[in-house]
Structure 1
């Protein structure tokens, strides 16, 4: 008798989902940036965390690190990304990879046009530590406590 592989995925509790950012709540990050959580523990994720951040003209986020690797793809607009002290100009569909613990930040390269990124963290337990203050918080906790804002 031979053993047949099971059809069960390694993480069976994650139900299929179609997530539409235009229909989801955006949470203000301050300074003209707002985040739309996508694949999160709340949707059943056990392995990775994804979402989008929208930047108004001139908006940016503080220099920070994470406890896991992160990849970001520019979906709209132009950005300046600082990674470990080096600034790079990135545009639509350009993608970054930042190892755990490496300081980085994104800002909108345009003073007037919007910019949007897709981010992926290598764990649902991702944290963000602000370099200037040393304050660490779970990325998904920011979504729970932040003030919802229209994502239009």
Structure 2
């Protein structure tokens, strides 16, 4: 990360930042966080191995996700929605959803944005709730 001293702005290069394993073939690279200086939102990139999926979950705040590369499926409201590069979602708080890699051979990447530094993820299976920020630390 490069910090601009005069303004406090930051330049983040994902290839130079750590990625944290989330299990199931997914890993997250946090980008804009409280530690970078954000006072109101967080962003990051999650990479999916071929065929990988994250479990159904919901958040306590609004979320937007853009498919950066690959082929994905958004599961929401009991429906499957294929996504192409740059398709972008808006997901209100407490709406169960998940993303999965539609390819059995190619990786997939999403950019996510949460409206809150205190974003949480609640798994639909079991109800476990954790701060999203916990996914951004070594296991």
Q: For this structure pair, what is the TM-score category when the shorter chain's length is used for normalisation? A: over 0.9
Question: Aligned partners of 2:122, 2:71: CA distance in 1, in Å?
Answer: 25
Within-5 A mapping of 1:136-147:
136-144=129-137, 146-147=138-139
Q: Which whole-Å deviations, capped at 9, do the CAs of 1:40-88 have from their partners, x for residues lacking one? A: 1111111111000000100110000000010000000010111122210
Within-5 A mapping of 1:23-62:
23-62=16-55
Offset at residue 39 of structure 1 (A): 0.3
Partner in structure 1 of residue 66 of structure 2: 73
Partner in structure 2 of residue 16 of structure 1: 9
Partner in structure 1 of residue 128 of structure 2: 135
Q: Which runs of 4+ in 1 moved over 4 A?
A: none
- Structure-2-length-normalised TM-score: 0.93
Question: Aligned partners of 1:86, 1:15: CA distance in 2, in Å?
Answer: 43
Is the 8 Å Cα contact of residues 83 and 98 (structure 1) preserved in structure 2? no
Question: Aligned partners of 1:103, 1:43: CA distance in 2, in Å?
Answer: 29
SS in 2 for 1:97: strand
Question: Aligned partners of 1:28, 1:84: CA distance in 2, in Å?
Answer: 27
Q: Which runs of 5+ in 1 are unaligned?
A: 1-13, 148-152
Q: CA RMSD in A?
A: 1.1
Question: Aligned partners of 1:72, 1:17: CA distance in 2, in Å?
Answer: 22
Q: Which runs of 5+ in 2 are unaligned?
A: 1-6
